[in-house]
Amino acid sequence: MKKTKKLMISLLTVGVLATSAAGSALAAEKEEGQWKHNKTGWWYSYSDGSYAKSQWRQINGKWYFFNAKGYMVTGWKKSGGKWYYLSHSGAMATGWRKINNKWYYLDKKSGAMTTGWLEQGSYQYYFLDDGSMATGHVEVGDAWLDFDEDGHLMKHDEQAAYDYLVLVNKTHKLPDDWESKVVLKEATNRYGETYKVEEKALEQFLKLQKECADEGIYIELDSTTRSVAEQQKLWDDWTIEKGEEYVKKYVAVPGYSEHHTGLAIDICLVVDGKRVDDNDDMIAQREIFAKIHEKLAKYGFILRFLEGKEAETGYAYEPWHFRYINDPVLAQEIMDKGISFEEYKGALE
């Protein structure tokens, strides 16, 4: 799908070249100007010694903006209530542009940054108020919509049948129809153990795992999805073995564990080739976990049981428990603010 954009950019380039050829012929007829530059920047000087300032100028078919001192502007520029992007060369960008890792669409003719809906061929895109293209799970008006990673609005039957922002904790029960809807996929870790994880969560986890491995940090699936029935069996078995008091303290009540959702992943570390999965041993690996936690949001995960938020989450610090929320931007916001998912959900209500 990215190909579409690349193709469009190359088509646009051809278009711009064609216009600029025509443009230079026109410019030659009109006023002869010349680019000049010093340490501060570039300006466009005319034969009579005057130069463009505080204005847009079309030069060789491309639009440039000159500031009050007459220097060519680059980067974002607000003009007449709309945003424009002036590329490194100073030429106003049009069409698709990836800027600081986000996609924007600048009107093909005017160059104005698009916000809101854009239809192209059979695809619908949505641009947020800051002009960046929506991906993932996004609130548009009153509705939550899903966009794939190329920004295409997913068709209704592709829309998630379940809410990736579901809150399941000691006081919020798993929705009754959840287990019948959630799509789980299997993955096997390096120890040959097979785990089930919600499909998108798994796809993103594998990317996270790869990025970590590229930096010499090795993580593996250690505990993922447990059905309510499995949790019930665990509860019953442990009650027989350890007694009710113990179970109530240490085992999640069936229906009230985030691991039911398929969106929760407990990892273990592999340090110097050895599996590190003991809670205390893992907590001791602060440096390694800090590096992993930095990457979580990029793949749509948050750290669920934060240090110092035990009263809100109901759990002690668990650097290994990741929760997928299918929305990297929101995940980054939650991680940056250092708030618990409970607090985030509370703010919504």
CB of 321 to Zn ion, least distance (A): 4
Of 152 and 260, nearer to Zn ion (C-beta) is: 260
Instruction: Choose one: 53-61, 92-100, 284-292, 317-325; the region binding Zn ion (CB under 5 A).
Output: 317-325
Only one of the segments 10-18, 99-107, 225-233, 261-269 lies at the binding site for Zn ion (rule: CB under 5 A); that segment is: 261-269
304 in contact with Zn ion (CB under 5 A): no
Position 163 contacts Zn ion (CB under 5 A): no
Q: Which is nearer to Zn ion, 200 or 323 (CB)?
A: 323
Beta bridge partners of 103: 98
- 321 lies in the site for Zn ion, by CB under 5 A: yes
Task: In angstroms, give the least distance from the CB of 323 to Zn ion.
Answer: 9
Q: Per CB under 5 A, does 266 bind Zn ion?
A: yes
In angstroms, what CA-CA distances link 315 with 44, 169, 236, 252, 312?
A: 64, 9, 21, 10, 8
DSSP 48: T
- In angstroms, the Cα distances linking 312 to 174, 182, 265, 342, 347 are 18, 26, 20, 7, 13
Tokens of 189: 């870790």
HEC readout, 241-271: HHCHHHHHHHCCCCCCCHHHHCCEEEEEEEE
Cβ atoms of residues 24 and 61 within 8 Å: yes
Pick the closer one to Zn ion by CB: 70 or 319: 319
Cβ(62)–Cβ(23) below 8 Å: yes
Q: Which is nearer to Zn ion, 52 or 219 (CB)?
A: 219
Which among 147-155, 167-175, 267-275, 319-327 is the span making contact with Zn ion, rule CB under 5 A?
A: 319-327
Of the residues 203, 318, 333, 343, which is catalytic?
318
318 is catalytic: yes
Positions that interact with Zn ion (CB under 5 A): 266, 321
